[in-house]
A and B are shown apart, each in its own frame.
Chain A
Amino acid sequence: MVEGSIARLRVEAIDLYYQHRVDPDVPIEDVAGAVKDLIQQGKVKHFGLSEAAATTIRRAHAVQPVTAVQSEYSLWYREPERDILPTLEELGIGFVPFSPLGKGFLTGKIDDTTTFDRSDFRSTVPRFSAKNRKANQALVDLLQSIAQRKHATPGQIALAWLLAQKPWIVPIPGTTKPHRLEENVGAADVELTATDLAKIENAASQITIQGARYPETMERMSNR
């Protein structure tokens, strides 16, 4: 709970406190009300939601203004464009895309010959089956071709594309390697022109991504 997080993070208050996925059995108004109390008590500064549906975001925002929503978003998972991004724009809420590199796939370092240990989460993800990796390679090839022209990497193009969508989007690529950190941070300096973006849009529209992004049990916990 919140006191535990405060102690572990060694802070006086939590900067941004998300509800980690929406619990369908707890009214979102109760969650927003709980965070409102925590903000009044000085334990939390900002309220966030993750993988929440647009209607849920509106209901929460009416009780306690939402600062940010964190959900999956990248060139290979564009679902938020339909309802979420327009809602966030209207309400003035920031967006934090997780898995902005498609859990590593968009870096171009994973192909149909890559093997995942059973303890690796990706071994359970349909989109990471060898067959689907092969089918989805077209998207990486697209990123690669643009990257070459921009003297960048495919991963940097994927991240720069996210930054170019809205000025209030802040991706959170994860890494455990110093050179990847450097690569990801460098993406903030990669400028995609309107022409670049149109080319990406056009090419991406001709690619149908194969395989679900999550095992079914986890997908059911999303967009609630």
Chain B
Amino acid sequence: MTTRTLGKNGPEVSAMGLGCMGMSWSYSPVPDRNDMLSLLRAAVERGVTFFDTAEVYGPHANEELVGEALAPFRGKVVIATSLGGHPAPKMRRGGVVSTAAPNISAAWSRVRSRA
């Protein structure tokens, strides 16, 4: 597959990425995990090098799935993930509090205080 540079100083990635959210939640029914591991690896074989997940998908389950599937291809693929939450997260100053992933509360502010 052809590749593209994601932003001026960004990584080079396949022109078509793969969104992984639906492999763990959001659209029903949630698919079989082994099938999704195979699908992710098939994507690499097909030339996909850009994968999108998020801590809040699951929560955690989607990152774990993507991490396990792509472990053999470390350094050859680009994985994007995110901090923060939806749907309907509870927000407050100094941190991002998600009803779906409460352990991320104040993560940003903790990082700040260390600096």
Contact = CB atoms under 8 A, between A and B. Distances in A.
A161 interface: no
Given A5-B63, A15-B78, A19-B84, A92 B8 contact: yes
Interface of B: 1-2, 4-11, 13-23, 26-29, 31, 35-36, 38-39, 42-43, 46-48, 50, 52-56, 60, 63-64, 66-68, 70-71, 74, 78-89, 91-96, 103-104, 107-112, 114-115
Contacts, number: 228
- In the complex, which range does the number of interface residues on chain A fall in? 35 or more
B16 A188 contact: yes
B38 to A, nearest CB: 8
A16 B39 contact: no
Contacts of B1: 185, 188
Contact of A1 (B8, B19, B36, B107): B107
B1 to A, nearest CB: 5
A159 B95 CA distance: 36
Nearest to B15: A188
B50 A5 contact: no
B4 A167 contact: yes
A16 B48 contact: no
Interface of A: 1-2, 4-5, 8-11, 14-21, 23-26, 30-31, 33-34, 37-38, 45-46, 48, 50, 65-68, 70, 88, 92-94, 96, 98, 104, 117, 119-122, 159, 163, 167-178, 181-182, 184-185, 187-188, 217-218, 221
A195 B47 CA distance: 29
27 contacts: A1-B83, A2-B83, A15-B78, A18-B54, A19-B96, A20-B84, A21-B86, A21-B89, A26-B95, A26-B108, A33-B115, A34-B111, A68-B10, A68-B80, A88-B7, A92-B7, A92-B9, A96-B17, A117-B29, A163-B16, A167-B4, A170-B13, A172-B52, A174-B22, A175-B22, A181-B39, A221-B86
A67 B6 contact: yes
Given A21-B86, A174-B23, 14 more contacts: A14-B79, A20-B83, A25-B92, A26-B96, A33-B112, A67-B10, A68-B10, A169-B4, A174-B19, A184-B16, A184-B18, A188-B15, A217-B87, A221-B86
Contact of B81 (A5, A30, A94, A188): A5
Given A16-B11, A181-B42, A98 B19 contact: yes
A195 to B, nearest CB: 22
B111 A170 contact: no
Contacts of A169: 4
A122 B111 contact: no
A61 B93 CA distance: 21
